[in-house]
Structure 1
Amino acid sequence: MGLTPRLSGRVAARAHHSPAAALLQKIEPFFAIGQVSGGPLMIATIVALIVVNSPWGADWIRLWDRPLRISYGAWAVARPLAEWVNDALMPLFFLIIGTEVKREFVKGSLATLRTAVFPLAGAIGGLVVPIAIFVGFTHGTPAQHGWGVVAAMDTAFSLAIVAMFTTRLPPAVRAVLLAFAAIDDVFGLLVIAVAYTSAFHPWFLFVAGAAYAGIVVLLRLRWVAPIPYVLLGGVVWVGVFGSGVHPTIAGVAVGLLLPTRSRLSEEGFAERVQRPVDQFKAAHAAAARADDDTEAEEAHEVAQQRLGYIHEMAAATDEAAERLVRILTPWVSYIVLPLFALSNVRIHLSPALIAEAVQAPLAAGVALGLILGKPLGFLGATWLATRLGAATLPDGVGWRMVLGIGGVAGIGFTISLFIAELAFTDPLLSEQASLAILFASIVSGVLGYAVFWKVAAPPGETADRAAD
């Protein structure tokens, strides 16, 4: 979702040696390995648009609509390949979102009441105002049911734009945007669960709840081995999937459980490993001095045992949430999100579709809901919360930066496309909504970038001052 300070410094150093490296410094946030990045998603979107609008477009869509059947004995389930991407892979993305939400609540920008209220108020405004705009345009039409399309934002793209100003904006800008994005995405998931669940089977949800409770019990017992958690997490997904609720809810629900504190502090680590380190050194030296192979092997075994102990203690200093995010983000950034774009972006950029979309209330509602509704809702609600004394501006963050945050929040893309697929069964309405989402995401990205470029510290200076 951005560049770490160390990686940012490395990229900046490369820019002194090569013009190409200077360009790399600008695009690196879109391809950062350690964070969920928007670059692969953007490339996959462009590829999908080109293929869909090529002579092979119909074959491409049929490929993703081809059923993939999984069976065991008399039991079988067959779903289009695109739905398997949405239902089986996208929960991994929302697992990361759920984890980020918890980290912000426990020790991030939501850790205290007044700092939590600021992005929470913004998220409420960023939900209510866009939906009001959308309903205002689509009231009384078949498209009204798609109000959830403007409910959420694209975390990967919005944070990648902020990361382009890593050293020129206060760190609190990214923290507020991350908190807003996390809450906004949770609202989007609740919209999916409440408004776009067609059938409900409570017994499956009971199975999911039992597995979820099992994860809680293992966490209370401080169970370390990951396999039981993986198995129970799979049962949670199966239960939610079978209940009729969209399985992305399972991802964010499990993410909210992940521990955000390490099992062993760094001070505790230093105390516990000092003696094993000394024992390892002694055993290693004994192995080198041994007169025969038997003594050397015994000393070597002692050394390996001490190394194993030290390794486990080092692992205990790692947060489970951070470790999972570190493992999943490359897969999500370079496989899950691109596959989602390749299978779900089906916009035919024909003059006829564009002409219909321009006149359609659905496209106007989506475009204006995202482009205007998100920044107005976020800015207005946070301003009101601060005026009432319920919230305060984070250190170093000014109102123009808040406007920039609201601007990039209009990049609905991933989740908006996701909800559009669920909301509209009419292909024409789905294409109009997707075209409007694409247009709104491009405009919002450009506007957000322009605002941040205007308020950011000059190149070469760090952002050590508050904005106006």
Structure 2
Amino acid sequence: MRTLKTVHHKILTPIRKFINDSRATGILLIVCTIVSIALSNFAFSSTAYVSFWHQHFSETLSSLNLPNSPLHIINDVCMSFFFLLVGLEIKRELLVGELKSVRKSVLPVLAALGGMIVPAIIFTIFNGNTPFHHGWGIPMATDIAFSLGVLSLLGNRVPVQLKIFLTALAIIDDLGAIVTIALFYSAQLNWIYLLFAVLALGLILLLNKLKVQRIIYYIIPGAILWYCVFNSGIDASIAGVLFALCMPIDKISKIEQLLFYPVNFAIMPLFALANTAIILPSAMGSALTSTISFGIMLGLILGKPIGIFLFSFIASKIGIASMPSRTNYRELFGVSMLGGIGFTMSIFTASLAFNFEGLQIISKVAIIAGSLISAVAGYMFLRRVYGKKKTSIYLLNTADDLTEQDRAMEILAPRIVNQAIG
């Protein structure tokens, strides 16, 4: 009995503390990324490890037009649950939280727009007159999982409003990337599947309108929505966001509780392992000095923060949008730097933009390098902004200056912090 208590104290308690730490997701993602890149490039394991993620399971899955490899199952099926989780968080904030104000909800939209336009321009400056000009969409995306993971490393020093802003920005950014892929990089959209996706979405909205409360009734049309979106030629992750936005508001907390641990401590680590299984080229110097690399890296490292911050700054100054509560421009710029973590959608866009494998490898190396620099720079900048004190906006609020919305946010804060990504 005493031995069991000792094991519980020495092993289980630290694990529980790690899981409950808001930085756990970020630390886990970084560790998985390092491990995956290392395994991909060690001679004794690289071939088997990389091949594992791309191996096909069975012809049956292919015949049913379903994902047929570990990589595609993780990216197209499992990650839909991640997007469902963040979509639920966004819906709650739009209805009762930080994004309820029209001016505050406009800010991440304009920020995402700037974060797409400026990187595309920078890439075009380097590659507009070359055969590689078609890659302008590569540095446009912000990776939700990794950007929030890095932000989570700062713990409770980061105001929850800033996390919500980054989440909304990254989702809108991803939607923009998906639209870009659909319009400029998809070989062909399947309009039949798109039509059935719209019908499935309409059925979910009807169930919500009829105030159907049992979640099980939403599962079948939700699965149909995912299947149709997946086969339409549009990235399947959009199905998770659409499904979330159609769910009843009073069921959001229950669904989040069901998804929180599986998403953060199973799906996200698998996502990191699968998507960083990349064999780096031996001639790294050459790979990083091409016009493609310059366009991608500078698009991520400079274009994203400049675009996000500039559009946000102008919008707030002229009064068409307002800053997140109790945040300043220095914090906003730090988050804008984290917007340069492109990764998943950027790698996906690169695979569509270039048919030649050599160009895809150069693009992936540039994406990894640009995302890594953006992550380190953004983290160090915000760490300097917040210093060593674990301050929190909820400790700084006073009863005299709290608006009705601020009081609501303060009441929701503990739950949001525990359930929000990162």
After TM superposition, the score normalised by the length of structure 1 is 0.73
Change (3 A) 1:108 1:459: same
Instruction: State the match for 2:236 in structure 1.
Output: 247
Does the aligned pair in 2 maintain the 1:69–1:76 contact within 8 Å? no
Return the alpha-carbon distance in structure 2 between the equivalents of residues 164 and 62 of structure 1: 32
1:80-124: per-residue Cα shift (whole Å, max 9, x none)?
A: 442333222222222223323323322233211222222222121
Letter in 2 for 1:435: V
Q: Does 1:159 align with 2:139?
A: no
Return the alpha-carbon distance in structure 2 between the equivalents of residues 459 and 72 of structure 1: 52
Return the alpha-carbon distance in structure 2 between the equivalents of residues 63 and 167 of structure 1: 38
Determine helix, strand or coil for the equivalent of 2:157.
coil
Number of equivalent positions: 382
Instruction: State the match for 1:321 in structure 2.
Output: 252
Change (3 A) 1:141 1:228: farther
Q: Does 1:29 align with 2:17?
A: no
Change (3 A) 1:357 1:465: farther
Return the alpha-carbon distance in structure 2 between the equivalents of residues 368 and 82 of structure 1: 28
Return the alpha-carbon distance in structure 2 between the equivalents of residues 249 and 142 of structure 1: 31
Determine helix, strand or coil for the equivalent of 2:258.
helix
Deviation at 1:379, TM superposition (A): 1.4
Return the alpha-carbon distance in structure 1 between the equivalents of residues 318 and 119 of structure 2: 23
Change (3 A) 1:243 1:160: closer
1:10-62: per-residue Cα shift (whole Å, max 9, x none)?
A: xxxxxxxxxxx9xx88x94332xxxxx33333222222211211223223233
The range that moved more, 189-198 or 165-174, is 165-174
Which residue, out of 40, 63, 68, partners 2:28? 40
Return the alpha-carbon distance in structure 2 between the equivalents of residues 75 and 374 of structure 1: 39
Return the alpha-carbon distance in structure 2 between the equivalents of residues 74 and 398 of structure 1: 53
Does the aligned pair in 2 maintain the 1:65–1:81 contact within 8 Å? yes
Letter in 2 for 1:375: P
Deviation at 1:131, TM superposition (A): 1.3
Deviation at 1:373, TM superposition (A): 0.9
Deviation at 1:74, TM superposition (A): 8.1
Letter in 2 for 1:151: M
What is the aligned-residue identity percentage?
32
Hey, which bits of structure 1, 4+ residues long, moved more than 4 A? 72-78, 460-466
Rg comparison, structure with higher value: 1
Does the aligned pair in 1 maintain the 2:159–2:327 contact within 8 Å? yes
Does the aligned pair in 2 maintain the 1:69–1:77 contact within 8 Å? no
Instruction: State the match for 2:416 in structure 1.
Output: none
Letter in 2 for 1:432: I
Aligned-CA RMSD value: 3.0
Does the aligned pair in 1 maintain the 2:23–2:154 contact within 8 Å? no
The range that moved more, 47-56 or 417-426, is 417-426
Instruction: State the match for 1:54 in structure 2.
Output: 42
Does the aligned pair in 2 maintain the 1:205–1:239 contact within 8 Å? yes
Does the aligned pair in 1 maintain the 2:186–2:233 contact within 8 Å? yes
Return the alpha-carbon distance in structure 2 between the equivalents of residues 85 and 230 of structure 1: 19
Instruction: State the match for 2:307 in structure 1.
Output: 377
Determine helix, strand or coil for the equivalent of 1:198.
coil
Letter in 1 for 2:37: L
Does the aligned pair in 1 maintain the 2:119–2:300 contact within 8 Å? yes
Letter in 2 for 1:362: I
> Which blocks of at least 5 consecutive residues in structure 1 are unaligned?
1-20, 32-36, 263-319
Return the alpha-carbon distance in structure 1 between the equivalents of residues 303 and 205 of structure 2: 39
After TM superposition, the score normalised by the length of structure 2 is 0.81
Instruction: State the match for 1:428 in structure 2.
Output: 358
Letter in 2 for 1:446: V
